[in-house]
Copies of this chain bind each other. A is one copy, B any other.
Amino acid sequence: MYLKDIASDLNLSKTAVSLVLNNRGNENKISQKTQKRIIDYAKKHNYKPNQLARGLSRGKSETIGLIIPNISDIFYAKIASHIEKKAKLYGYTVVYSSSNENPEIESELIRSMLNRQVDGLIIASTQQNQADIQILKDLNFPFVLIDRHYPNIETNFVIVDNFGGTKDITQHLIKNGRKKIGFITIKSNLDAIEQRLLGYQDAIKANNLEIKSENIKQLDVVDYQKEMKQAISDLVKPSVNVDAIVFSTHYLTASGLRELKLLKFKVPQQIALVSFDELGAFDLVEPPITTSKQPVLDIGNLAVEILVNDIENKNLKIENKNVLKTKLLIRKSCGI
């Protein structure tokens, strides 16, 4: 059932039908009687407009594109879920794609989404794609960066206080008497990862402890599972002998704990540990893991609010640069 069918069935023009079904009947002086006929007929035949045709002629698709590194990472999956729910409230559908941390794929995805006429983009960027972000900005195309942003481009963003969050968990270890604290992170140019390292170092410094390079391990993003073995054994060997470890991501924490268990270490008695970011069952793990939890709900909601505001030019006074606080969840792994 197409618009023209309704029109011819009711002996009306496509225009009249289109106007009425878009709630513009009154302003266009279509009589109440005719409006009712159209609406009733459309409802009766369950008419739904072809969104491609609609999008093509209006230059709008009521669709938000979401580009994230990986939908199977629970962190991004949760954000995606919140984004979807919030977007739905505003009448938008979400198209998502994963970049797998590959800037070329990200670039291709951005272009492909534009060709699909998405009305706006939410991007957790690889942070190695400044060019496309700049293009989006120059085009004045609505978009919001989440989780990662480009410090030297002025954009909307919703990120997390990685520095503060990591500083918090590190301080917490120190407060509980740990003095030789290791830090395991990934090799990465991501600002978020950099900030976590700085947060760790800042906590160490602030407490008059020494920042030792031998205490800091940077693993390959892909091969971290293999490299974890070496990293842990380096940190526990007598000459280093850390009494606590800060992990910069949830998957590193899981991997590290796995390794410590294999080596029969007592956590937290011999080695305490804390994690930046949370995994589903971190409260069930033995020992339950102290984390800085990221506010995934807020990230998703805010991103959509900013984006929709931008798309629809509502100019609600929404702060468009957001650094959200993490929440410290104290559990046993830090050795209280």
**Does A70 interact with chain B (Cβ within 8 Å)?**
yes
A222 to chain B, nearest CB (A): 16
Given the interface pairs A78-B72, A96-B96, A111-B48, the reply to whether A280 lies near B279 with Cβ below 8 Å is: yes
Instruction: Give bound CA distance, A51 to B112, whole Å.
Output: 9
A177 within 8 A of B: no
Note all chain B residues with C-beta closer than 8 A to A53.
56
Let me know if A285 and B281 touch, CB within 8 A: yes
With both chains docked as a complex, state the minimum distance between the C-beta of A136 and any C-beta of chain B, in angstroms.
15
Q: Taking the complex as formed, is A93 at the interface, i.e. its CB lies under 8 A from any CB of chain B?
A: yes
Within 8 Å of chain B (Cβ to Cβ): is A61?
yes
Interface 9-residue window, one of A120-128, A233-241, A254-262 = A254-262
For residues 272 through 288 of chain A, which have their beta carbon under 8 Å from a beta carbon of chain B? 279-287
Point out the residues of chain B lying under 8 angstroms from A96, CB to CB: 84, 94, 96
Establish whether residues A81 and B74, one from each chain, have CB atoms under 8 Å apart when the complex forms: no
**Count, chain A residues at interface, CB 8 A:** 45
How many angstroms between the C-alpha atoms of A254 and B282 in the bound complex?
Answer: 10
User: Does A209 sit at the interface, judged by CB under 8 A?
Assistant: no
A50 B117 Cβ-Cβ under 8 A:
yes
A155 interface hit (Cβ, 8 Å): no
Chain B neighbourhood of A78, CB < 8 A = 72
Bound CA–CA A115/B49 (angstroms): 7
Complex Cα gap A53–B55 (Å): 9
Copies of this protein in the assembly total 2
Contacts of A282 in B (CB 8 A): 281
Query: In the complex, what residues of B have CB within 8 A of residue A95's CB?
Result: 93-95
Is the CB of A178 closer than 8 A to any CB of chain B?
no
A286 and chain B: residue at smallest CB distance: B286
Which residues does chain B contribute within 8 Å of A52, judged by CB atoms?
52, 55-56, 61, 116-117
Per-residue interface assignment for chain A, residues 282 to 300, with 1 indicating a CB less than 8 Å from any chain B CB and 0 otherwise:
1111110000000000000
Q: Which of A105-156 contact B (CB under 8 A)?
A: 111-112, 114-117
List the B residue with the shortest CB-CB distance to A98: B84
Knowing A77-B71, A117-B52, the reply to whether A254 touches B284 (Cβ < 8 A) is yes
Tell me the smallest distance from the CB of A81 to a CB of chain B, in Å.
4
Question: A319 to B71, alpha carbons, bound, how many Å?
Answer: 28
Q: Nearest-CB distance from A18 to chain B (Å)?
A: 15
CA–CA, A85 to B74, complex, Å?
Answer: 17
Is A80 close to B, CB under 8 A?
yes
Contact of A257 with B280 in the complex, beta carbons under 8 Å: no
A34 interfacial by beta-carbon distance below 8 Å: no
**Is A322's CB within 8 Å of the partner chain B?**
no
- Residue A280 contacts which of B49, B74, B115, B261 (CB distance < 8 angstroms)? B74
| Interface residue? A97 (CB, 8 A) | yes
Within the complex, the shortest CB–CB distance from A76 to chain B, in Å, comes to: 8
Residues of B near A50 (CB, < 8 A) are: 56, 115, 117
